[in-house]
Structure formats: C-alpha cells, structure tokens
Chain A
C-alpha cells in the first residue's frame, strides 16, 4: 500500500512539474529570464478562486463536461506505474481502458465546445475529433508492441516483466517511447501539431475549445491536461527506463525532464505545421508505430527460432 501511495505521489509530482520544465526550457532557449517554475500552478490556484461566466447558449452539459474531463483523466492517471513501483489500480486489459478513458475525456470536451455554438470552437472540436480518431491506432499499436514483448496487457504487468528483455529489443523500446512522446505532443496540443501560444483563434485546436471556460472550469481543464501529460510521459519514460535502469528514481525524473525538454526544444526551434499537413503528420506516426510493431515482431520471432 505504501508503494502504491508513493507511486501516486510521484505521479502527481511529475504531473505538476512537466509544464514548469517546458516553460523553463523555452525561456532559456529564447534567452529570457522566464516565469517561475510553478507559475502554472499559481495560475490555476487563482482560477480556482474566481467566479465564472457561462454563455447563454450552453446547456447543463457544458457545466458537467469539465468534471467528466478531469474525472476521466484522474482515473486514467491511477493506472500508470512509475518503473518498479505499483499503480493503485491494475487489471488485465487496462491499457484499453486507459485509451478509452482518454477518449471519454476527449468526447466531453468536444461536446462542450459544440455546446457554445461558436464557429471557432466548432472548428477546434472538429479538428480535435479528427486527430483523436487518427491517433488512436498509433496509441493502440504502441501498446500492442509492449504487450507483444511482455505477454501481458496491463501496464503494471508489462513493465514489471519488461526487465528480463533481451538487449536486441532496446532500439524497439526506444522507438516505442518516441511514439508515445509524439502522441503526447498531439494529445496535449503542442507544437508541431498545435500551438497553445498562437495569437489567432482560427489556428488553434485544443486552446480554442476552452475559450468559453472560465474560473473553476478552466482550472479543471488545466489540471486534467497535466494529468494526461503525466500519464503519457510516464509510459514513455518507463519504456526507456526498461532499457537503462528500471528504478523509480530514474524513471520519474526522466519523464519530467525528457518530455519537458523535448517539448520545450521543439517549440523553440520549429514552427507549427500548416493545418493541412497535420493529418499527414499524424498518419506518419501511425505508420511508424506499425513499423515499430512489425520490427518488434520480427525480432521476437528471431529470438525464438
């Protein structure tokens, strides 16, 4: 039980710090002094204390949606182990459950965006729905690769078994981690797919869907975003940690620094994709995860023969 609690605490710490690392990296690369490390947490604390403005177009669904968004992200968050620690919940097939919890949170946000009747938010919703649909196979195949190596279909079992893997599979595991990081880019709405700092609502995807949320609702969406990021970042970090050192004190900082710095560097160095290029970009990731799965399959076959 203590281990499970430690696992959750570490996960919360990871969730809180990733955004900080992204901001620091961006500031350093741009030569700015930058905001405080936990400024984003302060912002959310402020939002939690504020009132809200609701659009007259919206229905009750708009007020429930942030709760569903956050609730689903919270539950998904509980399934992820930090390297050799144990997560709170785990069952056979929970990788599918987590993927569909992410879908649940997506549906809640899309419907809330459609509820405002705004053309901008509709635009964001349509894009989010399409990208979400296309990224789903990549997510499933990356998980299938893990299942293929370890013979299990729950996160806890996969990573506990993965330590006995052959060194041949190192490259495949690194590629899996890469795919998860890219999926995180897409799910979190970061460059190159989406730019949260863009100045124009027309070019936003994730941010534009939250235009009409304010106060506690907005805070909930931000918190859920951190949790989702931590979920995907930790899976990626675990895949890497299997190769090098499968200990929680290695995996947790890796999840924070690896993904945080990666996002920060990418956002500083390159511009957002043209929107029409995004589909190609996502399909490339899908193709890549299929390739990773295939390579993994061939390697496994060789080992057995």
Chain B
C-alpha cells in the first residue's frame, strides 16, 4: 500500500513539474480534486458506516499503526476538501500576476507544496496517532513553510517564514513528547490509547503537553504570535488555506483528546475549565487586536485567533456541561464548536481571497491607502460584504447558527442551575467578542471598500478574473446553506458530536429541531421583508425626484478625501481599553494642537502585541548567545575539524562500550 502511495506521489510531482508554466495550476487542481473527491467519498462512507479502518502498517518506533476514518475525521476531511479545491481555483488568477517574475521551477515547487499540504492535512486527520500522525503533521508544517516562502525575495517574508518554522517546531516537540509519554505508559501511541492512559492516573501532564502542541498550531494565546506574522507574508490563497483549514488541525487534535475522556467527570471538568479559560482569553485577545490592526491581512489573522477562541469556548462549555451531567449543554456546546469550525473555514477562506483580490490590484494591504474600492471591484465588494456579515455572526448567515448553539448551551447552563458561573463567564466573553468583531469588520469593510479613495492607486483597480470570483463563491454557497437551512446542516454535525461526546443526540435533536425550523423560517421572512422593503422603496421613488450630489459636509466646502475616518481613527476608542496589552511603535508625529497652519506631517503607528516582544526578546537573546558559542568552534582550519570528528567518534565508541547507546 505504502508503495502505491509513494508511486502516486512521485507521479503527481513529476506531472506538476512537466506541465508548462501556465497550465500547472490545472494539473495541481486535477490532483487536488481527485484527493477531494476521494476524501468526500470516504467521509460519506464513514458517516454511513461509522469507523472504517483503511490500512495498517508497521513503523520503526511506535509499532503498528493504521489509517482510519471515523465521523470526526470525516468532518475535517470535508472541510479540507472544500477549502483546498477553492484555493487551487483561486490560485490561478492570483499567481498569474507573478508569471515572468519567477522561474517555472518556482511555480512547480509552489504547487507541489500546495498539493503536499492538502494531502498531508488529510493524512493528519486520518492517522491513528504516533509516527504516522507526527510524520503527516511535520509534512504539513514543511509544506506550508515552503508555501509562505513564495515571495522569498522579500526580507519580511523570509523572517515571517522562519519565525513560523521555529514556532511550529517548538509545538512539534511538545507533540513528540506527548506521544512518547503515551507510548511509554501504554505501549501504543494511537489516539485510542489516550483513553487508557487517562485511566492510569495523573492524566493532566499528558493533556497539557498535547494541548500546548496542538494549541501552537491553532494559535492559542500566548502561542498565537506566528499567525499575524505569517499571514501577511504568505500569498493570499495560502493565508486562506492556512487560516481556514490548517489551524483547524490543532482543533482536531484537541477534540481528539477530549473524545478520549470517558466518563471521568473530574478530569472532564478540569479539562473543560482549562479549555474554556484559554478560549476566553484567546478570543478576547484576538478580537481586541483584530480591531486595532490597520493592515487587512493582519486583521484577518487576529480574527482567526478570535474564532479559535470561540471554538474553544464551545468545547469548554461542552466539557464542563458534560461533567456536570447535562447532555444537553454538552451537545449544544460541542455542536456549536464543531459547526463554528466548519463555518470559520468557509468565511475566513472567502475573506482572505477577497484580501488577495485587493492586494493583487493595490499591491499593498495597508487599509489607510484604500477606500471606495467597491466602485471598482463590485463583485469582490459584494462577496466580501457577505463574508463580513457571516463572520460578524449576523443572522441569517452561518456564523450566527454556530454561535447560537454555544449561547443556547450556556443559557441552558444558567437556567438549569448547572455551572452558572462558567456559563456567565462564557456569555460575557462571547457577547463582548461578538460586539468587537462588529467593530473590527465594519472598520475593515468601511475603510477598504466604502467612502472615497485615500490614494491614487485605487483609481487603477479593476475587478479580478472569473476564477477568483468563482473561488469566492464556492464557500458562499455553503455559508448560505448553513445559514438558511440550519435544521439540515446540523444533522451531520450532531452525529459527529454524538461520536465525540459518546452521548445520545436524540434529545438535542428533539430540543433544537423546532428552534432551527422556526429560525430558518424567520430567516427567510427576514430576507423577504428586506427585499420587499427595497422593491417598495424603488417603486415609490420612481415617481419622486431623485437627485445626486456631494456628501453633506456640514457646511464645510473644501472637503478632501484625506479628511475621512481612517482605520486608526475608527478604532481609537478601543485603544484605551487595549492599551495595556500592546506596544505602539510610532513613526513621525501628529499635528500639534498649537499648529494653526499645519505643515506636512507623516504619521505611522503600529500596534504590536506585547506577547510578541515578551516571548520574542529572551528567545532572540538566547539564540544570539548560543550562536556566539557555536561560532567559536568554527575556526576555519581543517585540522580542528578533523579533531572534532575524532572526538565525536571516540565519544560514540566510549558510549557504546559503556552500553549507554
């Protein structure tokens, strides 16, 4: 089996390298579509049958392992399949601008890495654990590292990619440590063994180690700092797939661990609490920073962190509720968290695609140089408005459905008198997150797409090609479906949640179905009302005088576009609240109050994460010092190198003789 897989991989890579430059995207799309179709077929099969073992093999370190698909992996397979096909289609238009600037091999490498990343993500959710899991995980990291490096001639790209690689490997070490701990205790390193391990006593260390390992990928506070660096550096379709799907593999890991906790209420309670608290902190931290950013892609990156927080709040409530003996809270939280995972992969992909459309025309992601793009790129603007509404969790779109589930879980917690305080904490956090998300995304949309142009580049933008618009429309269809037909969308999610929490979903389905059916109806009515109002207005206005004129300037006649609200001024009010968490770097200075006739000023402010500098500083200092020591060994003389080799060989000999190695 392994042989055929390797053969297929080699054939795929050769095919990508052999196709001409402009056709590579279609080869890669074909391969990815094959993978996606396979994945979806597997997922459907798994939903029908339950767990299916695919094949097993022997690994050198951890013994027998296998690839299997159950409902949880099936859900993630579907997410990966949809997002990766959309990404490939999108990349055609996006990379077209780079033809001629890079060599053909450069594109081949990019597409090979992209296909590898998709395949490795699928392997991650299929692997039973241990070696095969870690191998796929590492392959995914390396592939995404190469993908970030697409514009490797830019220094900031190289720095961000390196930063990403280092962070991911710290996380990887934690995972390795976790699996070694697991293997030592149980002589098996599959996810199933975690359940057994947890029964042996003292389960928390393993949980914490794995939680950190997975959290690093998911962007958990305070390990989130790689996200806002890596996303702006990577090409937009790569940001989309990394933010939409890859970080979800971290969530997948965390859900896998939670699945392993079987009826141990005390442990479930502790873990639920840890997950809930880290979710609250991650969510609030992410959303405050998202609202403060003035760079489109950094804002989106922080918003991904916030969404991971929301997912963890759902998971935490699920665990705490389950521990408290309420299946309803447990299922609502779990359904909400899983559905939000799906939802976020949809709208975040769309948002990054939209950001890519703008970047490819504006050649910048600085919000304050934009404005009024909606007039030049109407389709992108319309699709982005849709995605923004979805991520703000506004009814009748999908983001609302998943947050509603989490809310209902927590409200049930309150009204049943179970876990009131945790539910209250969750509600406060979730509602504050919901409120600030609105601020962040109205800022993004208002400053980028609406108003008047803030720079001359805007006038030169135009709508992007059909492929990119089509790629954005793929997630939009699913967003609409989940939003308007939640009663059907929830059925598969509830079955996954049932498998994860090992509880019965009929009660939840019975409880939630009337709600979802009414909600679906009300959503349709809402849309109908809005459309009807618009049509009525249009009809009534036909017989009225409709004139156009300049925006009302409040009596001031020499308005210019520089006077518009900028991104920075839009979130100024939040700055007071966020100040303790951020470090501002300011270039230039503001206009002084006493300057009656202001001269030309330049002012640039960046809000840096304090965690970034806290973690970054000692780390850099340590690396520098280590480097100095190592540099001393590099004498440049052949005889010293031969001495080192000799010392090494002698050491190996001595250690072997002593029986240590």
Contact = CB atoms under 8 A, between A and B. Distances in A.
30 contacts: A55-B552, A63-B534, A66-B537, A67-B530, A68-B530, A75-B522, A75-B525, A75-B529, A92-B515, A95-B411, A97-B395, A111-B385, A114-B445, A114-B450, A117-B564, A122-B451, A122-B570, A123-B565, A125-B570, A126-B571, A129-B439, A132-B438, A137-B427, A137-B432, A144-B424, A150-B415, A215-B544, A216-B540, A220-B533, A279-B573
Given A72-B526, A97-B404, A126-B570, A91 B552 contact: no
B438 A107 contact: yes
Interface string B435-466: 11011001101110011100000000000000
Interface SS of chain B: helix
Contact of B514 (A70, A91, A106, A122): A91
Contacts of A215: 541, 544
Given A51-B541, A290-B428, A132 B415 contact: no
Contacts of A42: none
A44 interface: no
B587 interface: no
B438 A103 contact: yes
Interface string A200-231: 01000000000110011100100000000000
Nearest to B396: A104
Contacts of A97: 395, 400, 404, 519, 522
B446 A114 contact: yes
Sorted nearest first, the 7 A-B pairs with minimum C-beta distance are: A122-B565, A114-B446, A133-B435, A117-B451, A51-B544, A136-B435, A71-B530
Nearest to A54: B548
A160 interface: no
Contacts of B403: 96, 100
A165 interface: no
Nearest to B553: A118
A300 interface: yes
A8 interface: no
B264 interface: no
Given A91-B515, A93-B515, A148 B569 contact: no
B614 to A, nearest CB: 27
B394 A114 contact: no
Contact of B408 (A92, A116, A127): A92
Interface stretch (B235-243, B311-319, B369-377, B468-476): B369-377
B572 interface: yes
Nearest to A213: B552
A126 B565 contact: yes
Contacts of B372: 57, 117
B576 A279 contact: yes
Given A52-B544, A74-B529, A125-B446, A100 B395 contact: yes
B518 A147 contact: no
A111 B435 contact: no
Contacts of B434: 100, 103, 136
Interface in A21-71: 48, 50-59, 61, 63-64, 66-68, 70-71
B354 to A, nearest CB: 15
B283 to A, nearest CB: 13
A240 interface: no
B223 to A, nearest CB: 26
Contacts of B514: 91-92
Which of B431, B529, B546, B570 neighbours the largest number of chain A CB atoms within 10 Å of its CB? B431
Interface of B: 371-372, 374-375, 378, 381, 385, 389, 392-395, 400, 403-404, 407-408, 411-412, 414-417, 420-421, 423-424, 427-428, 430-432, 434-436, 438-439, 442-443, 445-447, 450-452, 511-512, 514-515, 518-519, 522, 525-526, 529-531, 533-534, 537, 540-541, 544-554, 559, 561, 563-565, 569-574, 576-577
A134 B428 CA distance: 10
A257 interface: no
A107 B412 contact: no
Which of A72, A130, A132, A152 neighbours the largest number of chain B CB atoms within 10 Å of its CB? A130
Nearest to A161: B415
Contacts of B574: 130, 133
The size bracket of the interface on A is 35 or more
A22 to B, nearest CB: 26
A133 B571 contact: no
A137 B572 CA distance: 20
Given A107-B389, A122-B570, A297-B420, A114 B533 contact: no
A111 B534 contact: no
A61 B385 contact: yes
Which of A139, A140, A220 neighbours the largest number of chain B CB atoms within 10 Å of its CB? A140
B431 to A, nearest CB: 4
Nearest to A68: B530
Contact of A130 (B439, B545, B554, B559): B439
Given A125-B446, A133-B436, A56 B414 contact: no
Contact of A136 (B385, B412, B431, B572): B431
B416 A117 contact: no
A42 to B, nearest CB: 18
Contacts of B541: 51-52, 215-216
Given A117-B551, A122-B451, 19 more contacts: A51-B545, A52-B544, A59-B450, A66-B533, A68-B530, A71-B530, A75-B526, A104-B394, A118-B552, A126-B571, A132-B439, A136-B432, A136-B434, A137-B428, A137-B432, A144-B411, A144-B427, A147-B415, A290-B424
Which of A92, A152, A220 neighbours the largest number of chain B CB atoms within 10 Å of its CB? A92
Given A67-B534, A117-B452, A137-B431, A151 B415 contact: yes
B443 A152 contact: no
B435 A132 contact: yes
B551 A55 contact: yes
A93 B407 contact: yes
A139 B389 contact: no
A89 interface: yes
Nearest to A72: B526
A232 interface: no
A51 B543 CA distance: 8
A261 interface: no
Contact of B438 (A71, A133, A211): A133
A158 to B, nearest CB: 9
A120 interface: yes
Nearest to B531: A67
A101 interface: yes
A211 to B, nearest CB: 5
B420 A148 contact: yes
Nearest to A74: B529
Contacts of B430: 140
Contacts of A139: 431
A293 interface: yes
Given A51-B541, A116-B551, A117-B551, A125 B442 contact: yes
A107 B515 contact: no
Which of B514, B569, B570, B576 neighbours the largest number of chain A CB atoms within 10 Å of its CB? B570
B436 A300 contact: no
B579 to A, nearest CB: 13
Nearest to B517: A91
Contacts of A117: 371-372, 450-452, 551, 561, 564
A141 interface: yes
A53 B515 contact: no
A84 to B, nearest CB: 21
A89 B526 contact: no
B173 to A, nearest CB: 39
Nearest to A50: B544
A119 interface: yes
Interface in A241-294: 279, 290, 293
B569 A122 contact: yes
Contacts of B577: 279
Interface string A66-88: 11101110110000000000000
Given A92-B408, A125-B446, A144-B411, A114 B392 contact: no
Nearest to A49: B544
